[in-house]
Chains A and B, each alone.
Chain A
Amino acid sequence: METVVFGLFAALALVSALVVVTHKSPIYSTLALVLTLFSVAVLFVLLGAPFLGALQVLVYAGAIVVLFLFVIMLLNVQKEEMSHVGSSGQLWAALLAAVVFVGMLGLTFWRAGSPAVSPLTPESVSLKGLAAELFGTYLLPFEIVGLLLLVAVIGATVAARRPSELGPIREDEYVSGDEPRTDPLKSGPDPHRPSVAEPAYQSSQREAS
């Protein structure tokens, strides 16, 4: 039974990971990543870490992936052409990664074998023990991680903020590639605006060049 579940979700994780890496559209890549994260969450539960499995679904699939999707939709990212591995640097890096991977697999086969795994006991999966260790032995790292998250939130806000010299958002300004933003409250075309609007950055680029 456990073997069947493992095989099913391991295959699912591998296939969806391949989709993440190979799909051209960032949206589909991100959705495939959700599938990978769910499969890994199932494997966490199989390994006797149900708390981490729940955390994986909540934090990763629930928060981080939504952040990714939000940014993708916000930026209106176009499909990329797949890069051809042309430069020798990339080729060498890929070869190195392949060698390391084969080495890891070989070492795993050679060293690990299949030693007997002790059966799960109720106290080894209990949340209580985990919490006692987290708030006891690892209290300082826990606090530091909290500080890190605070710093990250402030840093992200500052980095993504609209530069103040640009001033407030004008009405004819919109994110590239989309249709011009129209005020739904106004009905009918505005006679004062040109009929074919052009993104602000394109005109500025044209002036520069």
Chain B
Amino acid sequence: MTDGGDGNGWAGDIAERVRTVPPSGIRKFFELAEEQEDVISLGVGEPDFSAPWSAREAGIDSLERGRTSYTANRGKRELREEIARDYRRFELDYSPEDEIIVTTGVSEGVDLAFRALFDPGDTVAVVQPAYVSYVPGVTFAGAEPLPVPTHAEDDFKLTYDALADAGAEDADGLIYCYPNNPTGAVMERDELEEIAEFCRENDLTVLADEVYADLTYDGNHASIAALDGMRERTIVFNGFSKAYAMTGTRLGYALGPSEAINAMNRVHQYTMLSAPTTAQYMAIDALRRCRDDVEEMRKAYNRRRNLVLSRLEDIGMDCFEAKGAFYVFPEVPDGASDDEFAEVLLEEEEVAAVPGSVFGEGGEGHLRMSYATGTDELKEAMDRIERFVERNY
């Protein structure tokens, strides 16, 4: 990447807020992994299943019928109604009329919120380890990211103290993702209570990324927006990428009070116009007919999760019991560097796992291992890691 004007074909400048954001640490790892032939990757942040056939078929059908025009800015009314109905599972009621917006992936929704709800100079607390887009997203919107590290000893849950220690009382917003990527941590309802208290006391706007809500393995997902005094200060994000294995269709949605959703829609209507139409038809079918598929996938992930956690325990890699998403986040043995462990593991045993430090503060000394991979491959990967740890640690 060049900054422009140096004779490499671009005469203009690159904006400072873009230039100063480093490329994702994932990228370097991706390039290393691509060089290997027989790599088993535990580095993939998306399901190994395909979207349920019924949803795919609905997409095909919509194309056959020539449904290729724009939709309403906020998304098809039918889809918003299905989303509203579906979210009542989490004790939340949003009006399809003006409290729901369908976006091009959760990523777009989060970006809309950053741009529509915060001013330059505002501070957004980012719970870390975090999905790699949050910090750059805050920066692109002109606001200031404030890292809020979580720790292995708390099973990577967010606590009142973690927020206070990071100085989040002066922040304007808070963004987190639970069930969490990269740690697999979940927040139970009673654990969310103290976060809600902090946010009410300090008047924080909460952006709750719940894209892994359906992939919760022990008890039910709880949404912070359902707690007292939180609906009016929370935007909830979810989508079809993870639970419905539809990452490539790029469809998500945001839920919140109309004033906030209207503001997000203002940015959306001028930048995206509407989310992809074919994807919206798929999503309607997914919500109507594919709940069983989601449950089957959830059960399959859970079995793999159990397998991986049990193998890691035997190998002697400390790992808290990750109860959500499709990641485990074990500690690198002997206090070694996660970056080095991951690189040598890839080189010697051709297993790719992502160094935890890529995901921000609190992630160092850990590895993100995704179990969104077939059971046979997972077994083989665990055999290789066992061999590697025995040999080197």
* A and B form one complex: no
**B residues lining the A interface (CB < 8 Å):** none
**A residues lining the B interface (CB < 8 Å):** none
